[in-house]
Amino acid sequence: MTDRMWSLSEFRFDQAIQAAEVSVFDDETGRFELMPRDRAIALAHAREANLVEWWPQGAVEAPQCVITKVTLPLRWEQLPEEAEPVDERLWFEASCGGRDFLVGNGNTFTGRMMAWCPQKQRSYRVSSSEIEVMPDETRYFVTGFLAGTQPGHPIDDRGDTDEADWAAWLSATRRFRRTGQWNGRWGTCQECGCVLLPDNPADHCAEHSPQAAG
The site for Zn ion (CB under 5 A) is made up of: 189, 191-192, 205, 208
Burial call 54-91: b when 16+ CB within 10 Å, e when fewer: eeeeeeeebbebbbeeeeeeeeeeeeeeeeeeeeeebb
Write down the least CB distance from residue 188 to Zn ion, Å.
Answer: 8
Write down the least CB distance from residue 213 to Zn ion, Å.
Answer: 11
Write down the least CB distance from residue 101 to Zn ion, Å.
Answer: 39
Write down the least CB distance from residue 194 to Zn ion, Å.
Answer: 5
Comparing CB distances to Zn ion, the nearer of 146 and 189 is 189
Q: How far is CA 77 from CA 48, 67, 85, 108, in A?
A: 21, 18, 22, 24
Angle between helices 163-179 and 136-149 (to 10 degrees): 160
Comparing CB distances to Zn ion, the nearer of 70 and 192 is 192
Write down the least CB distance from residue 192 to Zn ion, Å.
Answer: 3
Comparing CB distances to Zn ion, the nearer of 172 and 205 is 205
Comparing CB distances to Zn ion, the nearer of 67 and 205 is 205
Pair 10, 56: CB distance under 8 Å: yes
Task: Tell me how far apart the alpha carbons of residues 14 and 67 are, in angstroms, rounded to a whole number.
Answer: 10
Comparing CB distances to Zn ion, the nearer of 162 and 191 is 191
Q: Length of the chain in residues, anyone?
A: 214
**DSSP calls for 42-109:** HHHHHTT-EEEE--TT---SS-EEEEE---SSP--------PPPP-TTSEEE-TTSSEEEEEEE-SSS
Comparing CB distances to Zn ion, the nearer of 148 and 193 is 193
Write down the least CB distance from residue 209 to Zn ion, Å.
Answer: 8
